[in-house]
């Protein structure tokens, strides 16, 4: 511990304080708007309960789907040599840079019933409609959450020293066993961080959800959509639900502690 690196310059400290204030002030402002006396009543309102139920269910499903699709993708990006790798990586990052509403429009183009590439086929062959359904919510949320999970997993896979898998192989572990018993435990920090980030992103999605799955109370109206809808008609309810979402986010971050930066916990 030398004196050069351990002493933080004053201007850096002030800058950091400004950053903290910038982030903390809106949260404080939001908390001030909550009508604490009616909080319980607002949170148990039908629309709010529906919204939370749909949000929690859809975001968990979206996270699982993101894992199913994202883990193989991360594996190939981290460990396979193939042409078109840069293209695949750009594709994975695309939902992160696309404005969410644009993402929703793109999803319509693919999975919409009317003229979607695949959606039209699904509808004419099986009568399946993905839009305006809970599945539509899950698809929209998976679309935006997938990149977070893939990036986290890819980083984790790259950082695993292959020597552990090698020694496991020499000891007789088949590739599946190696994956389950060696790779996954080593991947755990990145996996947990990636899942949490993906889940948080899915939970907070608005633009793609409302464009693709619509805003049907009790069916596709997620918590963010409900907050927006209630802002004019029932501001108290909007603030109450916002408070709940903030509380969940804070809980999530506390649960992650330092792991989400990708380094070891300090």
Partner 1 sequence: MISLHGTVEVGSFSREFSIDVGNEIVGMFGANGSGKTSVLRTIAGLCPLGNGELKLGDDLVDAPAKNMFVIPEMRNIGMVFQDHSLFPFMTAVDNAAFPLLMRGVKRTAAVKMAAEMLEQFGVAHVAQHMAPTLSGGQSQRVAIVRALIGSPSAVLLDEPLSAIDEASREGVRNHIREHLVRLGVSAIVVSHDRAELDHLCTRIENYTR
Partner 2 sequence: MWSSTDGVYSLTVTILAKAKSLVVVLPIFICSLAAPVHAERIEVKKSTITVSAAASLVNVYTEIGKQFEKANPSIQVRFNFASSSSLVSQIQSGAPTDVFAAADLSSFDKLLSTGNVVKSPKVFARNSMQLVVKPGNPLNISSITDVSKASVISLCAKTAPCGIYAATVLSRYGVVIAESKITRGIDATATLNAVSTGDADAAIVYATDAVSAKKSVATISIPAGKNVKAMYGIGVIRGSKNSKQAETFVSYVLSPAGQKVLNTFGFLAP
Site residues, partner 2 (CB under 8 A): 105, 108, 112-114, 119, 129, 131-132, 210-212, 214-221, 228-229, 231-233, 235
Going residue by residue from 114 to 153, which x/- string records binding to partner 1, judged by CB under 8 A? ----------------------------------------
Distance CA 258, CA 81 (A): 32
Count residues near partner 1 (CB under 8 A): 16
Segment contacting partner 1 by CB under 8 A, of 7-15, 85-93, 174-182, 221-229: 174-182
Give which of partner 2, partner 1, none residue 99 binds (C-beta under 5 to 8 Å, depending on kind): none
Examine residue 176 and tell whether it contacts partner 1 (CB under 8 A).
no
Examine residue 57 and tell whether it contacts partner 1 (CB under 8 A).
no
Contacts with partner 1 in 182-241 (CB under 8 A)?
Answer: 182, 185-186, 188
Which of 150, 168, 223, 248: binder of partner 1 (CB under 8 A)?
Answer: 168
CB of 157 to partner 1, least distance (A): 16
Which residues make up the interface to partner 1 (CB under 8 A)?
163-164, 166-174, 177, 182, 185-186, 188
């Amino acid at each position: 511990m030398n004196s050069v690196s351990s002493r933080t310059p004053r201007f850096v400290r002030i800058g950091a304080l400004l950053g903290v204030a910038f982030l903390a002030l809106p949260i404080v402002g939001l908390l001030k708007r909550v009508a604490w006396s009616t909080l319980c009543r607002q949170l148990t309102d039908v629309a709010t309960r529906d919204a939370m139920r749909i949000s929690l269910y859809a975001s968990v499903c979206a996270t699982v789907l993101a894992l199913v699709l994202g883990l193989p993708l991360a594996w190939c990006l981290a460990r396979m040599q193939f042409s078109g790798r840069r293209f695949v990586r750009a594709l994975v990052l695309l939902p992160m840079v696309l404005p969410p509403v644009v993402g929703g429009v793109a999803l319509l183009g693919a999975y919409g019933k009317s003229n979607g590439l695949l959606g039209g086929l699904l509808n004419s062959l099986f009568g399946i409609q993905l839009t305006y359904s809970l599945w539509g919510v899950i698809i929209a949320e998976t679309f935006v959450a997938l990149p977070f999970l893939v990036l986290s997993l890819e980083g984790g896979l790259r950082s695993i020293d292959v020597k552990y898998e090698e020694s496991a192989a020499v000891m007789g572990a088949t590739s599946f066993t190696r994956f389950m018993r060696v790779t996954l435990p080593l991947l755990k920090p990145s996996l947990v961080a990636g899942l949490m980030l993906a889940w948080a992103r899915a939970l907070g999605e608005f633009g793609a959800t409302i464009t693709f799955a619509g805003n049907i109370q009790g069916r596709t109206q997620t918590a963010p959509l409900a907050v927006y809808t209630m802002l004019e008609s029932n501001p108290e309810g909007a603030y109450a639900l916002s408070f709940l979402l903030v509380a969940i986010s804070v809980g999530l971050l506390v649960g992650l502690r330092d792991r989400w930066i990708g380094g070891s916990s300090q």
